[in-house]
Amino acid sequence: MNGIHDLGGMHGFGPVVAEANEPPFHAAWEGRAAGILEVMTFPPGFTVDRFRYLRETLRPDLYLTQSYYEQWVYIAEQALLEAGMVTAQELAAGHAARGGERRADAMRSDAVWGFLHGHAPSGRTLTEPPSFALGQAVRARNAQPEGHTRLPRYARGKTGHVVRLHGGHVLPDASAHGRGEQPQHLYTVAFSARELWGEAANGRDKIHLDLWESYLEPA
């Protein structure tokens, strides 16, 4: 989707300033929120791609003003509301309604470490060969999907070269919207900065993007 999250090439936001000795969290609640959200029981079929899409649905003013972990909390709320696991009234009250039952599959504290280090990989085995070869010139399709995609606006219609083949991977565009995995070949494509940003860009710079096969066409 063409939302506020896709900021590449947009003006007016100033330079990215790195914070010296940045702590993992800037407030105690952020660490607690991160811990809860990493191990909470999300609805069946909920994926990292759905997580990203829900973040993209934030109103532009909130996306630009909320902190990173405020956005995480919003995502969790939306996921649980979608699945009917909580109600808007419960969220507003800050506690579960009376009569709720504890889930039998709730995670125990001694299982957290293994869970965090065992997330399911997205790689998949494909029988069909890749459509593009190393070194081949490819063009990113000029598509304007309304849902989630990993193809940024600034690369659409631009030409680059395949520099790495990653094999099959779950297609985010499908996974984010409950349409299964639909795995495709994944490529790293190198674009010159001038191809993306024009002659004012540094001619020595390149931008590498990981792009799925359906995002690409022969140049």
84 and 167 within one domain: no
136 and 63 within one domain: no
Round the average pLDDT of the chain to a whole number and report it: 90
More confidently predicted of 41 and 84: 84
pTM of the shown model: 0.87
112 and 72 within one domain: yes
**Mean pLDDT value across residues 143-157:** 96
**Mean pLDDT value across residues 201-206:** 95
36 and 100 within one domain: yes
138 in a structural domain: yes
Of 82, 116, 150, which residue constitutes the final position of a domain? 116
Going from the C-alpha of 155 to that of each of 8, 64, 116, 163, 196, the distances in angstroms are 9, 22, 33, 16, 6
How many independent structural domains does the chain possess? Answer: 2
198 and 137 within one domain: yes
92 and 129 within one domain: no
Distance, in Å, from the CA atom of 94 to the CA atom of 88, rounded to the nearest integer, reads 10
Give me the pLDDT at residue 41, please. Answer: 63
Band the pLDDT of 101: cuts 50, 70, 90: low
134 and 174 within one domain: yes
6 in a structural domain: no
Give me the pLDDT at residue 109, please. Answer: 72
* DSSP letter (8 states) at residue 13: S
Phi then psi for 156, rounded to 5 degrees? -65, 130
Neighbour tally for 178: CB within 10 Å: 10
**Mean pLDDT value across residues 3-13:** 90
**Mean pLDDT value across residues 104-113:** 71
More confidently predicted of 152 and 111: 152
More confidently predicted of 47 and 157: 157
208 and 131 within one domain: yes
CATH number where 192 lies: 2.30.30.50
Give me the pLDDT at residue 36, please. Answer: 78
pLDDT at 111 over 90: no
Give me the pLDDT at residue 9, please. Answer: 85
Give me the pLDDT at residue 20, please. Answer: 94
146 and 213 within one domain: yes
* % residues pLDDT > 70 (the chain): 92
pLDDT at 143 over 70: yes
Give me the pLDDT at residue 176, please. Answer: 94
181 in a structural domain: yes
**Mean pLDDT value across residues 18-35:** 91
42 in a structural domain: yes
Give me the pLDDT at residue 210, please. Answer: 98
CATH number where 92 lies: 1.10.472.20
Structural domain span for residue 128: 123-218
CA 208 to chain centre: 17
Nearest CA-CA partner of 81 in 48, 45, 37, 42: 42
Residue 120: how many CA atoms within 13 Å on its side-chain side?
10
153 and 93 within one domain: no
60 and 136 within one domain: no
* Long-range contacts of residues 60-68, Cβ cutoff 8 Å, at least 24 apart: 60/3, 60/4, 63/3, 63/4, 63/5, 64/4, 67/26, 67/30, 68/30
pLDDT at 118 over 90: no
**Mean pLDDT value across residues 133-149:** 97
Of 116, 148, 167, which residue constitutes the final position of a domain? 116
163 and 87 within one domain: no
